A and B are shown apart, each in its own frame.
Chain A
Amino acid sequence: MSTNPTLYRFHGGLHLQDHKAESLVNPLQQASLADELVIRVSQHIGEANTPVVNVGDAVKRGQLLAESHEFVSAPVHAPASGVIKAIEARPIAHPSGQTADCFVMVPWAGEEQSQSKVAHSQDPREQLKTIRAAGIVGLGGAVFPSAAKLATALKTGIDTLIINGAECEPYITCDDSLMQHKPEDVVRGIAILQNILQPRQTLVGIEDNKAAAIQAMQQALLQSELMNTAVVSIPTLYPSGGEKQLIKILTGHEVHSGELAFDMGIFCQNVGTCSAIARAIDHHEPLISRIVTVTGPGIKNPGNWITPLGTPIRHLIELAGGYSVQQPKLIMGGPMMGLDLKSDQVPVVKATNCILVLNQEDQPEPQDCIRCGRCEQVCPAQLLPQQLYWNSHAHQFENAEQYHLFDCIECGCCSAVCPSHIPLVQYYRFAKSEIWEQRRKTYKSDRSRKRHEFREARLLKKKQMDEERRRQKREALAKKKQAEQKGAADKGTKTQNADAVQAALERVKARKKTQHIKPKNTTELTEAQQRQIDEAEARRKKITRDDS
């Protein structure tokens, strides 16, 4: 069980000062409830949620707050019992200080927490449903809905289940403390995943700078008697916790460019997610809290807190003794890939693994690239970061794509070693978003062009039909004239005129009548049919509007 299999190396990577000890001095603690919780309506990657409760509603701990019926989505639940004070746009963790819809909730003070084990189903399908209903997402940072990932993986079949406990970013210890203090939760989660996926083998990858976590996990595994499951100690080298890197280390396989891990029968899940899955199945507890590391040189008492989602970061800072520097710089996540926070009022979300408080320092001015190639030496994706930089800088996005821009995992190694202090990753993010924007535009203009062409064709057809009708009419008229001229020879002119007037009146009458009569096939419509017609009408109107 503890035998280390052959390990493989990925290219590059960095040996970083890990700064893990600071936040591991204190044991894992339960964070107190803040006076106000701010819960984002959507906290996952995928389709947006819609609120199912209203302002003023009293909600219970674990009650559903928002959901979506789309496949790639995860519902959000009340992290505590309380009253929904507002549903409004609040600042969220986003580098540009963006806002998003949030529930603002005032929790009841002193509410009890039920920890009792409840009966659960062994049926994988039922378990999958429970995982989906519990709103579980990948807690390693990607926040991809776990149920969607599992369901997709089930279709292809899984050979190897990889549990990611690498936690390679400096400072962050939330997974480390989870494995140290609650390894049985993680192992239980692994057992559930095994029940659903039926993998041939399971490998738990943990960096070797977490000896206590490795030991605790091995112990818990021994007690669980899980088969074909091993804890693997991997060398500490950033970014070994990147999914593709971890897969390479443990199996030697490279996830093909543009593909996903389960395309090669591998399923990767973070240890925190395993624990959340265990709580959802065993305790029917949805994902309403997570472990957050509060650490860094700018905080007084670093540590790990089990934090209700929606807790404002300010509250966590206070729990950690407050700032110890004059000008704190707040980062959500680690120093290598984290996000710059503009305010400490933003709430904890499912993706929040760490609050890093640094001292605000002047960044060195970027200089010109001297092509030293250090970026290339450390790039775990074996890219040419320098070429990507030149091309992104010069807006040569097509060239950047040819240099495999989209295989960049934005780990930040290149920026960290750049002697010219060029914010390389920033350039790659910029280039990626520009390319996405261009694609969106191309898609849109393609669609408009097709519509336009269709309309032109339709108008042309109509014109031709009108022409044909007019021609037929002219012919008919000409025939009639001939006939009338024939008749005029037989009858007198006066009666002929009176007849003509009479006939015209009849025609007008008839036409008026037909205008009120609808075609017969639309007289008796079902509601559904009527709706379809209305929708079609609306679409038609919209198209004509768009086209004009």
Chain B
Amino acid sequence: MTLSSSPYVTPSASTNRIMLNVLIALVPGTIAYIWFFGVGIVVNIVFAIGFALLFESLVLWLRKRPLKPYLADYSAVVTAWLFALCIPMHSPWWLVATGIGFAMIAGKHLYGGLGFNPFNPAMVGYVVLLISFPKEMTTWFLPIQVSGESLNIAQAFAYSLGYADIQQWDALTSATPLDQYKTSLGQNMMISEIRQSPVFGDFAGLGWEWIANWWFIGGLYLLFTKTIRWHIPFGVIMGMLIPAFILYVTNPDSVASPGFHLFSGGLMLGAFFIATDPVSASTTNKGRLLYGFMIGMLVFVIRNWGGFPDGVAFAVLLANMAVPLIDYYTQPRTFGVNPPDEHH
């Protein structure tokens, strides 16, 4: 006898569909990425997805779980894609493998697989790399619009596989705008001076600001399809904007504008795609606002006073840690339990 219990309605949603929506929403930003930095990011994504599926299959096999339903839920693909977007373009293949391997095995499956991981797996993988391989993780390429050239797909693959003459491309690398901003501030430069560097665009990093715009548009798609709800992105953006605005107004010479912060680094991607990972995020509405706000604020704190130029990964992981507590203290008022004002 098959277990059967009401409701008997055709399910309107599926995990696969949610993941697929996230992938669709990532497309515009990824295209913008290619536009500004070349096809190198595609190599990252391909390697990351390949290794993610490989490691996922391996662990599923070890755990004696069926491969098909788990591989077909696209969750590994989403993790891999996001991870690939976070690490520097033209990363060597072994760097990608190490990071995504750590994400899938330690970040996801050691906790019990999809749905059980308290930390965002992509961020776990990213942070491991950031701490272990600081040189590789800070080698970023300049936008095409600044350097005037980029690697083609064959060169990009060769570069990642270690067959290209790496010295030859050194001229194309540079610190990220956020990194430059941080170092320059450390040298007591004024914001207006820092902004003279060619890596800066209209209001944030050249190229980066537009990619961030497209992440925002992808995020709107996620909101529109109800894949995510507004609370977390809103919380992240506000958590960043409010302190940034206060500091900017009081000290515009040594603090970048809120707009700069908003469209720099991984904030926009983080707000709509990373912090919204449901598994590791808070689940109540109030909790999600708080969780998002915490991430935004932490990013701002790390960027201004921490040891790293960007802080999205650390902020997300720290907020992940607080989720059980946030969830516990932000439970909604159950219907009929201490109803508010009875008189209307």
Name A residues whose Cβ lies closer than 8 Å to a Cβ of B: 6, 10-11, 16, 95, 170, 244, 248, 252-259, 329, 331, 333, 335-340, 356, 358, 361, 363-365, 367-374, 376-377, 380-384, 386-387, 403-404, 407, 412, 415-421, 423, 425-426, 429
Contact = CB atoms under 8 A, between A and B. Distances in A.
B151 interface: no
A331 B115 contact: no
Contacts of A10: 335
A368 B108 CA distance: 13
Interface in B258-317: 278-279, 281, 283-285, 288
B250 interface: no
Nearest to B114: A368
Contacts of B14: 364, 419-421
18 contacts: A16-B9, A253-B339, A254-B336, A256-B337, A257-B337, A335-B9, A336-B9, A338-B6, A367-B114, A368-B114, A368-B115, A372-B278, A382-B332, A382-B335, A383-B335, A384-B332, A420-B15, A425-B5
B163 interface: no
A257 B334 contact: yes
Nearest to A255: B336
A247 to B, nearest CB: 10
10 A-B pairs with the lowest CB-CB distances in the bound complex, closest first: A412-B7, A368-B115, A419-B13, A254-B339, A257-B336, A426-B5, A373-B283, A372-B278, A404-B334, A381-B335
Contacts of A252: 344
Given A384-B331, A423-B5, 6 more contacts: A16-B9, A95-B5, A244-B336, A335-B6, A412-B6, A420-B14
Nearest to B16: A419
A425 B3 CA distance: 13
Interface of B: 2-15, 17-18, 69, 73, 75, 113-116, 229, 278-279, 281, 283-285, 288, 327, 331-337, 339, 342, 344
Contact of A407 (B6, B9, B12, B335): B335
B283 A256 contact: no
A312 B5 CA distance: 22
Name which of A253, A335, A361, A371 has the most chain B CB atoms within 10 A of its CB. Answer: A371
Contacts of B12: 416-417
Contact of A404 (B2, B9, B337): B337
A339 B342 contact: no
Contacts of A416: 7, 9, 11-12
Nearest to B116: A368
Given A372-B18, A404-B334, A407-B336, A329 B281 contact: no
Contact of B3 (A255, A356, A382, A426): A426
Nearest to B19: A370
A399 to B, nearest CB: 11
A426 B334 CA distance: 20
A374 B13 contact: yes
A417 B13 CA distance: 6
B6 A368 contact: no
A253 B335 CA distance: 10
Main secondary structure of the interface of A (DSSP, over half): loop
Given A244-B336, A373-B278, A384-B284, A419 B9 contact: no
B278 A367 contact: no
A11 B335 contact: yes
Given A374-B13, A429-B5, A244 B335 contact: yes
A364 B69 contact: no
B7 A335 contact: yes
A519 B18 CA distance: 85
A340 B3 CA distance: 10
Given A382-B332, A425-B6, A367 B284 contact: no
B276 to A, nearest CB: 10
B8 A329 contact: yes
Contact of B281 (A16, A368, A371, A381): A371
Contacts of B344: 6, 252
A152 B114 CA distance: 51
A364 B15 contact: no
A371 B283 contact: yes
A339 to B, nearest CB: 7
A407 B5 CA distance: 19
Contacts of A336: 6-9
Contacts of B113: 368
Q: Which of B9, B15, B113 has the most CB of A within 10 A?
A: B9
Nearest to A384: B331
B6 A256 contact: no
Among B5, B6, B15, B283, the one with the most A-chain Cβ atoms within 10 Å of its Cβ is B6
Contact of B335 (A371, A374, A380, A412): A380
Contacts of A364: 11, 14
A335 B283 contact: no
Nearest to A296: B8
B74 to A, nearest CB: 12
Nearest to B12: A417
A419 B11 contact: yes
Which one of B5, B12, B331 has the highest number of Cβ atoms from chain A below 10 Å of its Cβ?
B5
Contacts of A426: 3, 5
A331 B15 CA distance: 27
Contacts of B15: 367, 370, 419-420
Contacts of B334: 257, 381-383, 404, 407
A452 B13 CA distance: 56
A369 B113 CA distance: 11
Contacts of A368: 113-116
Contacts of B75: 370
A363 B8 CA distance: 9
A370 B283 contact: no
Contacts of B69: 365, 367
Given A254-B339, A416-B9, A421-B11, A363 B4 contact: yes
A372 B14 CA distance: 11
Nearest to B228: A372
A370 B14 CA distance: 11
A6 B344 CA distance: 10
A137 B344 CA distance: 33
Contacts of A418: 11, 13
A373 B284 contact: yes
Contacts of A361: 10
B13 A371 contact: no
A333 B5 CA distance: 12
Contacts of A95: 4-5
A253, A255, A356, A367: residue with the most chain B Cβ atoms closer than 10 Å: A367
Contact of A256 (B3, B18, B332, B339): B339
Nearest to A409: B335
A324 B95 CA distance: 60
A243 to B, nearest CB: 11
Contacts of B281: 371
A371 B336 contact: no
Given A419-B14, A419-B17, A331 B8 contact: yes
